[in-house]
Amino acid sequence: MEVRAVGKRLRVPPRKARVVANEIKGKHAVLALAELRYHPSKGARLIRKVLRSAVGNAVENHDLQPDSLIVRNVLVDEGWRLKRLKPRAMGRGNIILRRTSHITVILEPGEPFEAPRSNAKPKPRPKFEEPKKKKSKKPKEEAAEEVVAETTDEQATASEAEAADTGQEEAEAAPAEEPEAADDETSSEENKE
């Protein structure tokens, strides 16, 4: 017994659809559907629709299990050709043929599909040695003393920089006060006259 489904006038060229159709011939329908789902071509999407229809026909009309169906054949025939005009130079036009396909999927019952099971245990992961640490030439105590000495030097330079900054601010503020004092003296001289 065979189950069929036909898709007519599907907008994919037959030559491109046949490439995908040849990949699923002889496979279980469930496996073929899974493969077509991740196939990048447009033909795969359309063949998958027809294959799902064939599986649905088998389940509804013949009470078959989808796991037991095998793709016996996939026929891709040429359908209508739509003629389109592509404008070219000097007022000419070329005829472009948009080809369509008639896709027929034929299924037959077979042995139920079972996913392959492996009794093999996974390979053990390799164990890598820990990287060797470089030995410092100086003992830890001397290194700690150097760190303390560096921090005190940094603190001393920071305090000197702050003192220099405050000294500049005072120097800037002092000349600003002197002209005011001079203005006071001139104003007092003017008052005397």
CA distance 16 to 13: 6
Residues 98 and 39 in one domain: yes
Residues 31 and 93 in one domain: yes
pTM of the model: 0.59
Domain interval for residue 188 = 138-193
Nearest to 36 by CA among 26, 18, 53, 21: 21
The pair of three-digit structure tokens given for residue 69, joined into one six-digit string: 């169906």
CATH number at residue 57: 3.90.470.10
Indicate whether 116 belongs to any domain.
no
Residues 31 and 98 in one domain: yes
Q: State the DSSP string of 90-143.
A: GG-EEEEEEEEEEEEEEEEE-SPP------PPPPPPPPPPPPPPPPPSS-HHHH
- pLDDT tens track for 92-139: 999 999 999 999 999 999 988 887 777 778 788 888 887 777 766 656
CA distance 43 to 101: 10
Predicted confidence band of residue 81 (pLDDT cuts 50, 70, 90): very high
* Helix 29-37, helix 14-24: angle, nearest 10: 130
- pLDDT tens track for 25-54: 999 999 999 999 999 999 999 999 999 999
Residues 84 and 145 in one domain: no
